[in-house]
């Protein structure tokens, strides 16, 4: 009994570590909800979502890729949503794969119980609908009972597809979501009178004895006259100084002339 109990604790720890690392990758357990107040064109969303999945779907794997397992029941709900105007399928789930003792069921068959998708499609589903806390199951073959892939390798396989899915889903949401335009606020007569009246400062100035544009203009004229007066006085002082400097020379010249 002791080894079995230790294995259960290890599995629980691995699951907790996996959830933390999935959150760091951006694989949220909650679905990608619409923003409040936004208008959603569901018909356009169905078409864009279907086209995005079909564009990334494949029957073969690329280098260093793996198959990710999804419940057939969830896939049927998604097909009903995109093809027959059904409701949203909700988060991804793989609970039907396990028994009450957290072990794989022995009777699971491909297509009947589970479907396999490449990492790009799985990342798109996870970005749109969330994982629901389910740990991704990945294999290098279509057999669920084949050799499992290590947790770190699964996260490494999902790293780039998750980033691409985040960008693709964001661009898709910009197309089928429409934000309502802000309605212009009605202006009251008091606001128009106090804030939009060009003559209000002049009227208030005349009523309460404050400055007006005419007074400001007169003040400017006085300043100009005073400035001109100061310039005239300064010019007169300069002329007097020059005349004083020239007088000794004239006197010296006249004395020399008398001596001659």
Mean pLDDT, range 14-37, rounded to an integer = 60
pLDDT in tens, 32-61: 665 566 788 999 999 999 999 999 999 999
User: In this predicted model, what pLDDT tens digit does every residue of 204-232 receive, in sequence order?
Assistant: 666 666 555 554 555 556 666 776 666 66
Confidence of residue 245 (pLDDT cuts 50, 70, 90): low
d(CA 74, CA 212): 77
- Going from the C-alpha of 109 to that of each of 80, 122, 146, 183, the distances in angstroms are 22, 19, 13, 56
Q: What is the mean pLDDT of residues 84-107?
A: 91
pLDDT (average), residues 179-208: 62
- When mean pLDDT is compared across 3-7, 50-54, 97-101, 219-223, the lowest value belongs to 3-7
Report percent pLDDT > 70 for the chain: 55
Lowest mean pLDDT segment, chosen from 1-10, 28-37, 149-158 = 1-10
Q: Provide the CATH topology of domain 41-178.
A: DUSP-like (3.30.2230)
SS (H, E, C) the chain: CHHHHHHHHHHHHHHHHHHHHHHHHCCCCCCCCCCCCCEECHHHHHHHHHHHHHHHCCCCCCCCCCEEEEEHHHHHHHHHHHHHCCCCCCCCCCHHHECCCCCECCCCCECCCEEEECHHHHHHHHHHHCCCCCCCCEECCCCCCCCCCCHHHHHHHHHHHHHHHHHHHHHHHHHHEECCCCCCCCCCHHHHHHHCCCCHHHHHHHHHCCCCHHHHHHHHHHHHHHHHHHHHHHHHHHHHHHHHHHHHHHHHHHHHHHHC
Query: Domain spans of the chain?
Result: 41-178
Model confidence pLDDT, tens digit, residues 117-143: 999 999 999 999 998 888 899 999 999
């Amino acid at each position: 009994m002791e080894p079995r109990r230790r294995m259960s604790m290890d599995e629980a720890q691995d699951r907790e570590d996996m959830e933390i690392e999935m959150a760091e990758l951006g694989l949220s357990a909650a679905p990608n909800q619409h923003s409040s107040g936004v208008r959603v064109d569901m018909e356009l969303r169905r078409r864009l979502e279907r086209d995005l999945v079909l564009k990334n779907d494949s029957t073969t794997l690329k280098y260093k890729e793996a198959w990710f397992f999804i419940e057939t029941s969830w896939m049927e709900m998604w097909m009903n949503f995109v093809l027959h105007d059904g409701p949203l399928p909700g988060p991804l789930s793989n609970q039907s794969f396990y028994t009450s003792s957290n072990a794989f069921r022995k009777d699971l068959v491909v297509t009947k119980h589970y479907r396999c998708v490449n990492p790009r499609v799985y990342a798109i589903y996870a970005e749109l609908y969330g994982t629901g806390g389910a740990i991704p199951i990945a294999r290098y073959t279509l057999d669920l009972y084949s050799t499992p892939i290590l947790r770190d390798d699964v996260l490494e396989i999902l790293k780039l597809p998750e980033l691409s899915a985040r960008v693709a889903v964001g661009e898709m949401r910009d197309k089928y979501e429409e934000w309502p335009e802000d309605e212009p606020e009605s202006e009251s007569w008091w606001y128009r009178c106090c804030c939009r009246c060009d003559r209000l400062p002049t009227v208030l100035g005349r009523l309460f004895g404050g400055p007006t544009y005419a007074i400001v203009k007169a003040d400017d004229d006085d300043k100009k006259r005073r400035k001109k007066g100061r310039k005239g006085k300064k010019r007169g002082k300069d002329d007097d100084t020059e005349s004083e400097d020239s007088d000794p020379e004239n006197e010296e010249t006249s004395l020399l002339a008398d001596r001659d």
